[in-house]
Amino acid sequence: MTRPSQELLRSISDEHVLRSLMSERKLTRAELATTTGLSKPTVSESVRRLVESGLVADTGERTPGGRGKGRVGSFYSLAEDIGVALVIAIAPDGITAECVDAYGDVVGRTHHPIADPAEVAAVLPSVAAETVAAHNVRLCTVSAADPVDRRTGRLVQLPDSPFLVGELDPVAVLGPLLHGPVVVDNDVNWAAQAEHAALGVADFAYLFLDEGLGCAVVSDGEVRRGHSGLAGEISHLITAGPSGATPFIEVFGELGLRRPGTTAIDVARLRTADPVVLARAIGGVVMALVTLADPEVVVIGGSWGPSLLGAIRDECARLPRQVDVVAASVASPSLTGARASALDQLRTALVTASR
């Protein structure tokens, strides 16, 4: 447990000041006093400390810009070089990299198309190196379109499931390039996190129906990843197929909807398939989700999932327990979720750095 030291109070004051600057970008000491609720002398002291430690800087800007009379005040903000977070999304068709600063602004963005998943291992370090050279990167979040081992951060292949990105150890590749932690997670988990922020619902399930099949369970406001991080890898869940009980992924095989030579689902051809048969299989998955996770709502995402929303709803209406089914609402959800988490981690990292 925490010790009751005076230093604790100081660090709480500093955290108040830093978080205010993160959300308001620039403030005078007087403004800081009102937004934080601290007294003016306390704020002045805190600002003095933070400037000295290099986290905060005088912007040089002064108040009177039509703001009225009175003495001029000095605007303070986070230091220029305070650092950013790197956000990387690895999909079969390419790698997207972004930098977020502590204000939540995206300060850089690149996309590298990839023809073959095998290129990922080669392209990834160069993408990262480019960003690291230009910014003070303090941490990194990675979204990958494959199951991620929770402890190692490695991409893992589950038997007979689509394996889109392929063998990769992002922590080993990226870790040495920057000085902070590298957090890797499955794209569906990140997407669910983004959807959670948008929906404001504490308990829901996210069904991701794309080239790969995924699912994330959000319980008590957090994505629950399970022991190895493989919670929600639903390819092998037994559900209703055209010929009886079948693993979910096999339903697509039986319908001839998997791309030959790869493990992925053929999304183009899928659009011509019978929605009722697909919805029946999806309904079986929803039923298992409702039974085991009891979501308030099931969110359907992925490139082709939402197009079946009506059929899925009809199917779910026949289930013994009712649940709301809605379409995902966040654009590029995986990147959004990874970015939000990166921002959050960056901010706490900075606050902790002031201690």
| Nearer of residues 63 and 219 to DNA, judged by Cβ | 63
Instruction: Give the one entry of DNA, a copy of itself, none that residue 72 binds, where binding means its C-beta sits below a cut-off of 5 to 8 angstroms depending on kind.
Output: DNA
| Nearer of residues 65 and 320 to DNA, judged by Cβ | 65
- Near a copy of itself by CB under 8 A, which window of 85-93, 154-162, 185-193, 259-267? 154-162
For DNA, the binding residues in 18-57 under the rule CB under 7 A are 28-31, 37-42, 44-46
- Give strand pairing partners of 106: 100
> Under the criterion CB under 7 A, does residue 3 sit at the interface with DNA?
yes
308 CB-near residues (< 8 Å, 6+ apart): 209, 275, 278, 279, 282, 300
Instruction: Give the one entry of DNA, a copy of itself, none that residue 39 binds, where binding means its C-beta sits below a cut-off of 5 to 8 angstroms depending on kind.
Output: DNA
> Under the criterion CB under 8 A, does residue 199 sit at the interface with a copy of itself?
no
Instruction: Give the one entry of a copy of itself, DNA, none that residue 231 binds, where binding means its C-beta sits below a cut-off of 5 to 8 angstroms depending on kind.
Output: a copy of itself
Q: Whole-angstrom distance between the N-terminal and C-terminal Cα of the chain?
A: 17
**What type of residue sits at position 234?**
I
The first and second tokens of residue 9, run together, are 């109070």
> Under the criterion CB under 7 A, does residue 227 sit at the interface with DNA?
no
Of 214, 217, 189, give the one whose Cα is nearest residue 202: 217
User: To 5 degrees, how large is the angle CA 199–CA 200–CA 202?
Assistant: 115
Sheet holding 137-144, edge to edge: 106-113, 94-101, 84-91, 137-144, 182-186
Q: At residue 238, what are phi and psi to the nearest 5 degrees? A: -75, 130
Site pattern 18..47 for a copy of itself (x: CB under 8 A): -x-----------------xx---x-----
User: To 5 degrees, how large is the angle CA 331–CA 153–CA 293?
Assistant: 60
> Under the criterion CB under 8 A, does residue 225 sit at the interface with a copy of itself?
yes
> Under the criterion CB under 8 A, does residue 60 sit at the interface with a copy of itself?
no
Q: Which is it for strands 84-91 and 137-144: parallel, antiparallel or unpaired?
A: parallel
Q: At residue 247, what are phi and psi to the nearest 5 degrees? A: -60, 140
CB 143 within 8 A of CB 334: yes
> Under the criterion CB under 8 A, does residue 238 sit at the interface with a copy of itself?
yes
For residue 309, the minimal CB distance to DNA (Å) is: 52
> Under the criterion CB under 7 A, does residue 63 sit at the interface with DNA?
yes
Instruction: Give the one entry of DNA, a copy of itself, none that residue 70 binds, where binding means its C-beta sits below a cut-off of 5 to 8 angstroms depending on kind.
Output: DNA
For residue 30, the minimal CB distance to DNA (Å) is: 4
CA-to-CA separations, 112 to 25, 174, 182, 254, in angstroms, rounded: 31, 16, 20, 35
Q: Which of 66, 70, 260, 320 binds a copy of itself (CB under 8 A)?
A: 320
Q: Which residues of 40-68 are buried (b: 16+ CB within 10 A; e: fewer)?
A: eebbebbbebbeeeebbbeeeeebeeeee
For residue 80, the minimal CB distance to a copy of itself (Å) is: 26
For residue 23, the minimal CB distance to DNA (Å) is: 18
Contact footprint for DNA (CB under 7 A): 3-7, 9-10, 12-13, 28-31, 37-42, 44-46, 63-64, 68-74
Contact footprint for a copy of itself (CB under 8 A): 1-6, 8-10, 12-13, 15-16, 19, 37-38, 42, 158-160, 201-204, 215, 217, 219-220, 222, 224-234, 236-238, 240, 244-245, 284, 287-289, 291-296, 320-321
